Chains A and B, each alone.
Chain A
Amino acid sequence: MSATRTHNFAPAPGTNRGQYTQLSSDPKGENIVYTNGRSVFVRNLKNPEQSWEYTGHSATATVARFSPSGFYVASADVNGNVRIWDTINDEHLSKLEVRPISGKINDLAWDSESKRIIAVGDGRDKFGHAFLYDSGSSVGEIGGHSKAINGVSIRPVRPFKAVTASEDGTVNFFNGVPFKLATTLKDHTRFVHAAKFSPDGSHFVTVGADGKIFLYKGDTAEKLGDLNVDPDTHKGSILAVSWSPDSKHVVTSSADCTAKIWDVAAGKVVQTVTFSDKSTFLDQQVGNVWTAAGYIVSLSLSGDLNYLEVGSAKPTRVIKGHQKGITALAKVSPTNLYTGSYDGLVLRWDLTSGVPQPVQGAGHSNQVNDMVSVGGKVVTAGMDDTLRVIGEGGFDSAVVSTKTVPKAISSAGTLAVVASVGEVTVLRDGRKVSSLDIPYSGSAVGVHPSGATVAVGGEDGKIHTYAVDASGSLKEQGQPMDANKAPLTALAYSPDGSLLAAADTQRKVLVFEAASGKLKLDEWVFHTARVNALSWSPSGKRCVSGSLDTNVHVWSVDEPMKFVAIKGAHLDAVNGVTFLDEETVASGGQDGALRIWKLKY
């Protein structure tokens, strides 16, 4: 009776418009490190379906960086906490937890000996702090700025120097160790976004919102010039810069929807990668990293990770993902899934490769509330009061509008039934055939596998059953089932149609006999918060539920008190679960990740 995680499909990095996003890599350069929500993700660049996460932060994480030794990661969040944790054990034991500044931390830098860390950001009394990684004691003063600091870098060779890039338009140069202000560089005219030392320590570059790329000598901070004078210049704010491992090139990412690779000695662009002909803000480039293994990755505002290469005017590979929590999940086949998220993005997953593709066409403008597979197609219900159908080529242009917000959707054969606030809508082959006004607020729906009966759960805590006639009209039958004392959240008929599982907001999953409406099982009460999703196994002997308490439980009909608990399956909440086969479960959660679990009974 246990479950093991076989796959962890990470979400895309979290981004903010007009702000840079910190990307970094492990010392070998094979994995990329980024944050999304409270989680830190470490993801393989060659096989992006492989990843692991760290979930120790209690607030939105902003930056994570590997120590040059590779044994520790320092990560920080919007509350100013820096956590240093080890990478060797799966538990990621905490080495140190400090709060160097009293506000959002924007950037962290390790020195090349993996001993000192500089954290910078937007604190109330100071904007930066230098400290030892093991004791937290101070190793200098990071001062001299009047506004938040955006970026920091430490010279990787002795004598140690440090540079900070600030929103007050200045770059400060520090001597070390202990770090002490040496010079203030006032070359930029607007926000400075990043400052980076080259790996050999000979130079550093700074980039800013004024579209300038200044190059300085690494030991004296003597200005060598502006790179962005090549005729082929960036036309907008430059948000990120990274050095190549050989210290000869830099890559810059800009809000003008391009990334450029520069030859530093010649001061020339060697490659421009354009992401969009029209300036759509989703293609703005907000972060980048050039890893030791030679991968160049630039991040779009949409969360796309774009692999760049010298000699290619287009990204050689684009990895997409959810940036926001997954709110709906639909299984088409054991290797094929669709997921929808809080921001309306719908992705199609081929689980054999683990890399998702976005569904083409006009989709939902905001949260996807529920989705279900109907005879080869997928019907989605959105917070924008529409139902949309996904076929082979993407979203169909035909849209079914509902009078009120559709909350839940369920299907059998070619029939799909939608429960919305005040209405039940019946679709056949993706077209609306009938609807029925209901005097309560519908929040869950289940269609009997025969297609002849529909169960609708309401926020009144009752399950109403309706008969479906040949024309698709609904007629209420019998007394509502009222054993759930709280608003219903999910309903599911077992594959043979004999049982109906009902989940509610007061953490209960009850099982009824479908024919008589009699309560059969009331032992499935081990969740500690609202239950969000239900799915039956193909045999109908087991049922899986996902809950706000972050857990996934796999229940057994034959032994109701014995269940498999997957604790902490998703940070914050589990929003969607489905059986792929009798021993495999897929789950999607508020952390934006999709996970596959192998069960052993």
Chain B
Amino acid sequence: MASGVDVDSECLNVFQDLKLKKKYAYIVYKLSDDMKQIVIDQAVEKGTYEEFIKSLPKDDCRWAVYDFVYNTSDGERHKILFYSWSPDTARIKSKMVYAASKDALRKKCDGVFTEIQCTDLSEVAFQTVHDKVNRMSA
């Protein structure tokens, strides 16, 4: 908790629901407006990857957990991914606080397959992420 930011307990409950009960497709987290606490921006029960990408703001940072589903020759695979979204156009202060506070949230989320750091759409695109997940699980 390098930045002294606290994590709202609801954040973890929602994550557990996503991980164990498969209740959500994805969860987007953000810093509260006073930058003191990490809170849930939205937790979506059913949504496509395109909708997930659209839910990331163009000029502000976010964290997200996505239950990534893809097909291999052996059948369907689920991987829980942790995203750090930090677009070039975000304010520098925002990028700093989000980067410094990431661990507070990330450490609490157990069972994440990998982290995806993304600064623009080419890095969050389904194909890019799919390639990375495939490479890591191979």
User: Given A485-B88, A525-B120: A561 and B58 within 8 A (CB)?
Assistant: no
- Which residues of chain B come closer than 8 Å to A528, judged between CB atoms? 122
Question: What is the CB-to-nearest-CB distance from A536 to chain B, in angstroms, rounded to a whole number?
Answer: 21
Q: Nearest A residue to B119 by beta-carbon distance?
A: A525
- Which residues of chain A come closer than 8 Å to B53, judged between CB atoms? 561
Interface residues of A in 514-538 (CB under 8 A from B): 522-523, 525-526, 528
Instruction: A508 to B87: give the CA distance in the assembly, Å.
Output: 13
**Contact at A561–B88, with CB atoms within 8 Å?**
no
**Contact at B88–A526, with CB atoms within 8 Å?**
no
**Contact at B58–A526, with CB atoms within 8 Å?**
no
Question: What is the CB-to-nearest-CB distance from B53 to chain A, in angstroms, rounded to a whole number?
Answer: 7
Instruction: A561 to B58: give the CA distance in the assembly, Å.
Output: 15
Instruction: A528 to B121: give the CA distance in the assembly, Å.
Output: 12
Does B125 touch A at the CB level, under 8 Å? yes
Does B50 touch A at the CB level, under 8 Å? yes
Instruction: A485 to B90: give the CA distance in the assembly, Å.
Output: 13
Q: Nearest B residue to A524 by beta-carbon distance?
A: B121
**Contact at B88–A523, with CB atoms within 8 Å?**
no
Q: Nearest A residue to B58 by beta-carbon distance?
A: A522
For chain B, the count of residues having a C-beta within 8 Å of the partner chain is 8
- In the complex, how many residue pairs between chain A and chain B have their CB atoms under 8 Å apart? 16
Question: What is the CB-to-nearest-CB distance from B110 to chain A, in angstroms, rounded to a whole number?
Answer: 32
Instruction: A526 to B120: give the CA distance in the assembly, Å.
Output: 9
- Which residues of chain A come closer than 8 Å to B50, judged between CB atoms? 561
Contact with B along A520-562 (1 / 0, CB 8 A): 0011011010000000000000000000000000000000010
Question: What is the CB-to-nearest-CB distance from B119 to chain A, in angstroms, rounded to a whole number?
Answer: 9
- Which residues of chain A come closer than 8 Å to B122, judged between CB atoms? 525-526, 528
Interface residues of B in 70-123 (CB under 8 A from A): 88, 120-122
- Which residues of chain A come closer than 8 Å to B121, judged between CB atoms? 522-523, 525-526, 561
Instruction: A523 to B121: give the CA distance in the assembly, Å.
Output: 6
- Which residues of chain B come closer than 8 Å to A522, judged between CB atoms? 58, 121
Question: What is the CB-to-nearest-CB distance from A502 to chain B, in angstroms, rounded to a whole number?
Answer: 15
Question: What is the CB-to-nearest-CB distance from B105 to chain A, in angstroms, rounded to a whole number?
Answer: 26
- Which residues of chain B come closer than 8 Å to A523, judged between CB atoms? 121
Instruction: A523 to B58: give the CA distance in the assembly, Å.
Output: 10
Question: What is the CB-to-nearest-CB distance from B132 to chain A, in angstroms, rounded to a whole number?
Answer: 15
Q: Nearest B residue to A527 by beta-carbon distance?
A: B122
Q: A508, A525, A528: which has the most chain B beta carbons within 10 Å?
A: A525
- Which residues of chain A come closer than 8 Å to B88, judged between CB atoms? 485
Instruction: A400 to B54: give the CA distance in the assembly, Å.
Output: 49
Instruction: A528 to B125: give the CA distance in the assembly, Å.
Output: 14
Question: What is the CB-to-nearest-CB distance from B113 to chain A, in angstroms, rounded to a whole number?
Answer: 23
Instruction: A523 to B123: give the CA distance in the assembly, Å.
Output: 11
- Which residues of chain B come closer than 8 Å to A561, judged between CB atoms? 50, 53, 121, 125
Q: Nearest A residue to B53 by beta-carbon distance?
A: A561
Instruction: A274 to B88: give the CA distance in the assembly, Å.
Output: 62
Question: What is the CB-to-nearest-CB distance from B116 to chain A, in angstroms, rounded to a whole number?
Answer: 16
Write the residues of chain B forming the contact surface with A, with a CB cutoff of 8 angstroms: 50, 53, 58, 88, 120-122, 125
A-B contact sample (14 more), CB < 8 A, given A522-B58, A525-B122: A485-B88, A508-B120, A522-B121, A523-B121, A525-B120, A525-B121, A526-B121, A526-B122, A526-B125, A528-B122, A561-B50, A561-B53, A561-B121, A561-B125
16 contacts between A and B (CB under 8 A): A485-B88, A508-B120, A522-B58, A522-B121, A523-B121, A525-B120, A525-B121, A525-B122, A526-B121, A526-B122, A526-B125, A528-B122, A561-B50, A561-B53, A561-B121, A561-B125
